[in-house]
Structure 1
């Protein structure tokens, strides 16, 4: 105790010496600290400040900045707080699958632009982005709430926020319902009832139909492709002109694109899906030959569907040749996987699908 008092006395003398040196900033910066040190008689507080440098770095002087300014910092605690905040944000980004929405929401806005005669009101686009993001966020969160026990059995999903326990199921459920209701109300009040209704159908099919079917039939991917393509119809309806055949073509393109895309994912993680008891097509197809044939059929149908905008007069020839080139390339990647069903070739197909869709939408926009 006497040693500590001596250290405290030396520190106070040092501070008083600098206060008396005539520096203008000295009293402003050091007086509160000096008063606190003089008045504090709590041994545990003093011990925490001076005897735990790993948590508290005590009084630090910065000679290269303002003269004799001091700072009581908790470097390790601040670092931990930043990590917790970062983890919290990342968990909810993962729960809401916001990276997927980075593609679906711009695609919906593109459809809104097309539906309104290639004119776009920024207020409409903003309301669409907010409402659709809320609805998609709710769908993703509630989907993971339903599948939390299955996700625990899969290596790919075991570290997600819900199975890992970083976010409670009850919290996710409340957030999911709140954002879903808020998104539907936003689309209804800010845009129109058709847009809100399509958003509700999207959420209902994804959470209450597609998700339970994963444990029932291998056709769940076909069913899940319907809500996966509905954001385009939500975007089209946001313009306020209803739905037409062009909207149906865009819906068909996105619907068909998802099937080879998810066949590739299901093949790569087929053991994980089988472990969780999910009936994905590759899980029931040990050789992968049937899955590859299905992927080829869907990719060929997609190629034909992608040409319809030009055939029916909605797009020019530039789009036609771009769609034809992209479609042939995508079909080639599916056939490449079919010739030799390996994880490496499935990943090539997966990346090809991720490149194909944005480029096709870009070509449609430029046309």
Structure 2
């Protein structure tokens, strides 16, 4: 039971997806170094440090989030069985665990380079202490939350190649834009539950045509953004083709939500978002050509 509560505290599935994105961009950064001749192969020890450090940092951010939202989590069916609202873990215990993970993760990522360590601290602060309290106040919280949500890609890349270059911005921007249809699809599906806690995550705060149109527009913006690796010459035609096909499918799902405004359509878009990002990121890694 203790292990299961820890898994829930750190939101393991979300943490896994975050670390997965960072690990892929670390490998892309490593390919850049190999092309530049600054290293002969991938440093798998540093890759392991990134994964462990990223896991700890993300777990810490989620722990702080659950401490702050303990009373609100108790109001929602989806979150009422988390260890804090269910009373199986105290705020003090969660705080100690989160601080330990935060310090440990920062140390590991900072040992790769100081820029990576700084970005990890910034991500925790922005997610836990800016995005979290804004969720009850304004839909702008989705924009704020998309920044720390996309930072892991930049953190992973810079952990391998400590430079804020075009590739770092491209991987960040793809994940940043992707999060809007992703978040809003989830918010549409869970809107009734979110309202119990007073969360306002849909663009207009409710399931209406305007929210659906804005979600569609964000997915439309993602299409050209996903082609940036090929446009700038860092990826080949394979990543361009796969990104185009995935974006068109994603766009169709968003169109169906806009046309029907049904929860089932939002659920299709949500599941589509889960597949979209890892497919595009993996394809960028495999089809990375550099310059």
TM over 0.5: yes
Separation (CA, whole Å) in 2 of partners of 1:265 and 1:248: 26
Aligned residue for 2:227, secondary structure, equals helix
Alignment match of 1:112 (pick from 8, 12, 26): 26
1:114 positional shift: 1.3
Query: 2:78 corresponds to which residue?
Result: 156
Query: 1:355 corresponds to which residue?
Result: 275
User: Bigger relative contact order, structure 1 or 2, given CA contacts below 8 A and separation 6+?
Assistant: 2
Per-residue CA deviations over 1:187-239 (Å, capped at 9, x if unaligned) read: 22x31110000000000000010001112111101110110111111101111
Query: 2:178 corresponds to which residue?
Result: 257
Aligned residue for 1:243, secondary structure, equals coil
Alignment match of 1:172 (pick from 84, 88, 94): 94
Separation (CA, whole Å) in 2 of partners of 1:163 and 1:140: 14
Aligned residue for 2:164, secondary structure, equals coil
Per-residue CA deviations over 1:251-277 (Å, capped at 9, x if unaligned) read: 011111111111111111112211211
Contact 1:116–1:241 (8 Å) recurs in 2: no
1:142 positional shift: 0.6
Change in CA separation of 1:230 and 1:148 when aligned onto 2, cut-off 3 Å: same
Per-residue CA deviations over 1:268-307 (Å, capped at 9, x if unaligned) read: 1112211211122267234x21111111111111111110
Change in CA separation of 1:275 and 1:282 when aligned onto 2, cut-off 3 Å: farther
Query: 1:212 corresponds to which residue?
Result: 133
Per-residue CA deviations over 1:1-44 (Å, capped at 9, x if unaligned) read: xxxxxxxxxxxxxxxxxxxxxxxxxxxxxxxxxxxxxxxxxxxx
Within the alignment, does 1:311 sit opposite 2:225 as a pair?
no
Per-residue CA deviations over 1:314-333 (Å, capped at 9, x if unaligned) read: 00011111110010000111
Contact 1:270–1:283 (8 Å) recurs in 2: no
Within the alignment, does 1:323 sit opposite 2:243 as a pair?
yes
Within the alignment, does 1:198 sit opposite 2:119 as a pair?
yes
RMSD: 1.3
Contact 1:271–1:283 (8 Å) recurs in 2: no
Separation (CA, whole Å) in 2 of partners of 1:260 and 1:336: 13
Query: 1:79 corresponds to which residue?
Result: none
Q: TM-score, normalised by structure 2?
A: 0.92
Contact 1:263–1:281 (8 Å) recurs in 2: yes
Give every structure 1 segment of 4 or more consecutive aligned residues whose post-TM-superposition deviation is greater than 6 Å: none
1:120 positional shift: 1.9
Aligned residue for 1:284, secondary structure, equals coil
Within the alignment, does 1:232 sit opposite 2:153 as a pair?
yes
Separation (CA, whole Å) in 1 of partners of 2:274 and 2:173: 17
Per-residue CA deviations over 1:322-362 (Å, capped at 9, x if unaligned) read: 11001000011111111111111111111111111111112
- Gap regions ≥5 residues in structure 2: 33-40
Within the alignment, does 1:366 sit opposite 2:280 as a pair?
no
- Gap regions ≥5 residues in structure 1: 1-86
Separation (CA, whole Å) in 2 of partners of 1:240 and 1:311: 21
- Give the total of aligned pairs: 279
